[in-house]
């Protein structure tokens, strides 16, 4: 982001904001893409990156190889000026840890950029099982997204850690480089990759659930067939 010449603007207006969401994206669908766009707008982020995981330690089996999932995301985002594809986890050897991704992004972006990692409620509840989980907010923020009507039912030690880092409002993520967790209730499209794979396996069409370019790629390569 270019520097503001108007010195009357608060410092928070000059801070760049980069948000990202990781996942297997197997395949990427409109639920992923629409949520990413809405969160970018809510955060007023300069960038929103989608980061396909390489070898996630908590998943024993992936349906598709990393290069296939990358190519589907590449096709989905090729003409999208709002969202970016980031392949850093695919280039890393060994298990994929979010901590290492945050370290890598912080080295790229510098110390002043607000860095926001987006996670779902289920992922956040499993946080104590993550690598170096208590150090995540030393590198960036965590934005926990879940559906209205669902609450974070936390147990120790996550509960105490959450209370210590909880932001009162979303703006705190924009005006600080790191350190906060914010709980955002948001209505999401009811689409899942499991649903799409099931349709394709049964010989049915997932059209209007995924981008046309992704469906063309899937059909051309015969993915997810029984």
What's the structural domain count of the chain?
A: 1
pLDDT at 226 (0 to 100): 76
For residue 197, tell me if it sits in a domain. no
pLDDT truncated to tens, each residue of the chain (226 aa)?
A: 333 333 332 333 468 999 999 999 999 999 999 999 999 999 999 999 999 998 655 555 666 888 999 999 999 999 999 999 999 999 888 788 999 999 999 999 999 999 999 999 999 999 999 999 999 999 999 999 998 877 788 999 999 999 999 999 999 999 999 999 999 999 889 999 999 999 999 999 999 999 999 999 999 999 999 7
Burial of residue 182, with CB atoms counted within 10 A of its CB: 0-12 exposed, 13-18 middle, 19 or more buried:
buried
| Structural domain boundaries enclosing 126 | 15-189
For residue 154, tell me if it sits in a domain. yes
pLDDT at 6 (0 to 100): 36
For residue 85, tell me if it sits in a domain. yes
pLDDT at 14 (0 to 100): 61
pLDDT at 8 (0 to 100): 32
For residue 184, tell me if it sits in a domain. yes
Whether the CB-CB separation of 30 and 211 falls below 8 Å is answered with: yes
For residue 5, tell me if it sits in a domain. no
For residue 196, tell me if it sits in a domain. no
For residue 8, tell me if it sits in a domain. no
For residue 222, tell me if it sits in a domain. no
Sign of the torsion angle spanned by Cα atoms 184, 178, 37, 205: negative
Whether the CB-CB separation of 191 and 185 falls below 8 Å is answered with: no
Q: Look up the CATH number of the domain holding residue 123.
A: 3.40.50.620
């Amino acid at each position: 982001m270019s520097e503001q010449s108007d010195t009357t603007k608060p410092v928070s207006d000059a801070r760049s904001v980069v948000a990202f969401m990781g996942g297997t994206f197997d395949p990427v669908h409109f639920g992923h893409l629409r949520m990413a766009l809405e969160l970018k707008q809510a955060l007023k982020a300069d960038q929103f990156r989608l980061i396909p995981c390489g070898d996630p330690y908590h998943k024993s089996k992936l349906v598709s190889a990393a290069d296939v999932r990358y190519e589907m995301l590449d096709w989905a985002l090729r003409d999208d000026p709002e969202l970016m594809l980031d392949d850093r986890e695919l280039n890393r050897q060994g298990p994929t840890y979010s901590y290492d991704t945050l370290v890598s992004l912080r080295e790229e972006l510098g110390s002043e950029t607000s860095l926001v990692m987006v996670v779902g409620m289920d992922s956040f509840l499993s946080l104590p099982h993550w690598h170096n989980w208590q150090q995540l907010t030393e590198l960036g923020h965590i934005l926990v997204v879940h559906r209205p009507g669902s609450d974070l039912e936390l147990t120790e030690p996550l509960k105490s850690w959450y209370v210590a880092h909880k932001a009162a409002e979303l703006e705190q993520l924009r005006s600080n480089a790191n350190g906060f967790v914010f709980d955002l209730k948001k209505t999401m499209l009811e689409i899942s990759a499991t649903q799409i794979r099931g349709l394709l396996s049964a010989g049915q069409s997932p059209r209007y659930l995924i981008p046309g370019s992704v469906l063309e790629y899937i059909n051309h390569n015969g993915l997810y067939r029984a």
